[in-house]
Chain A
Amino acid sequence: MNVSPKMYTRILLSTDGSDVARNGIKHGIALAKALKAKVTVIAVTESLPIDYGSGHASGWIPSQQEIDSFDAACKERAGKLLDEARAMAEQAGLSAELLHVPNAHPATAIIETAKSGGCDLIVMGSHGRRGLKKLFLGSQTSEVLADGSVPVLVVH
């Protein structure tokens, strides 16, 4: 059996602002420190839902102004989450790379960032902001796990 001596070099931590995700960040930072790995923190915000209706007058298509204010709010929220993660990393003596991916599907953006950024471990909370806590894994976590290209550390 081949036990490789080099462990993770860059760890990707994802956050959506939930308590479980915060646990994951704390956990991931401690692991990165122990392994002398670099850290990237990612916050993904989803796009504004557009309801084209179904041939009736029920649809809602946002105006450019509405889209702009939604984007600004996402940027602000992600900025807050990433600032918090930066502070946690600094406390551990690490400098984290911070990344906000707007208007994206979280699991897809997390996987793509891990691949393009050369991350060899993803740390995620078992649940995000939604979902039946006790019963299932969160949907984004499940999707990242199912992709199966990068090891995933799931923190509860």
Chain B
Amino acid sequence: MYRHILIPTDGSQLAERGVAHGLALAKSLGATVSFIFVVEPFSEVSGRFLEAVATYAELRKEQAASVLDGAAKAARTAGVSCETIQAESGQPHQAIIAAATDKGCDLIVMSSHGRSGLAALLIGSVTNKVLTHAKTPVLVCP
């Protein structure tokens, strides 16, 4: 079955459920996992908030590194071999799909929502775009 599972996370609580779910599946199938965290660049128009934007970008990158670190630790504990990818893109779904192609992943596991979105109504926008554009199967966990 699956040999390499891609698991995107944005550090949110829901995304972490996707991480746990994907890890459990990888463990029971003996598959490898790759975790990806996509940092969205903050576009600054006027230049007035350059400093704040730079601080934000730094914080977000630090968060990405610590979230990926946590995921890698969980994988080690579960005995699943893994690698982590930190990407920067204004279109997270494109970075996720590109990583899946790049690494030869045969499944993407992600939660139905991440950080943003109307939680109760529909599925998250990034998940929705991955579902629409990915060629690989996508497992969405609630």
Contact = CB atoms under 8 A, between A and B. Distances in A.
Interface stretch (A30-38, A42-50, A62-70): A30-38
Q: Is the interface of A mostly helix, strand, loop or mixed?
A: loop
B1 A151 contact: no
A126 B28 CA distance: 25
B141 interface: yes
A119 to B, nearest CB: 13
B124 to A, nearest CB: 10
A34 B122 CA distance: 31
Interface residues of B, number: 31
Contact of B24 (A4, A136, A146, A156): A4
Contact of A153 (B20, B128, B137): B137
A7 interface: yes
Interface in A137-155: 137, 142, 145-146, 148-155
Contacts, number: 75
The 5 closest A-B pairs by CB, nearest first: A34-B1, A148-B142, A1-B74, A151-B141, A7-B28
Interface in B108-142: 112, 121-123, 128, 131-132, 134-142
Interface in B1-33: 1, 16, 19-21, 23-25, 27-29
B21 A137 contact: no
A34 B19 contact: no
A2 interface: yes
Contacts of B141: 151
A152 B21 CA distance: 12
B90 interface: no
Interface of B: 1, 16, 19-21, 23-25, 27-29, 70, 74, 77-78, 112, 121-123, 128, 131-132, 134-142
Given A145-B123, A146-B122, A156 B140 contact: no
A102 to B, nearest CB: 28
Interface string A79-93: 000000000000000
A57 interface: no
Contact of A7 (B24, B78, B135): B24
Contacts of B139: 121, 151-154
A138 to B, nearest CB: 10
A156 B135 contact: yes
Contacts of A155: 137
Contacts of A151: 21, 139-142
Q: Which of B21, B23, B123 has the most CB of A within 10 A?
A: B123
A35 B139 CA distance: 15
A152 B24 contact: no
Contacts of B128: 137
B132 A135 contact: yes
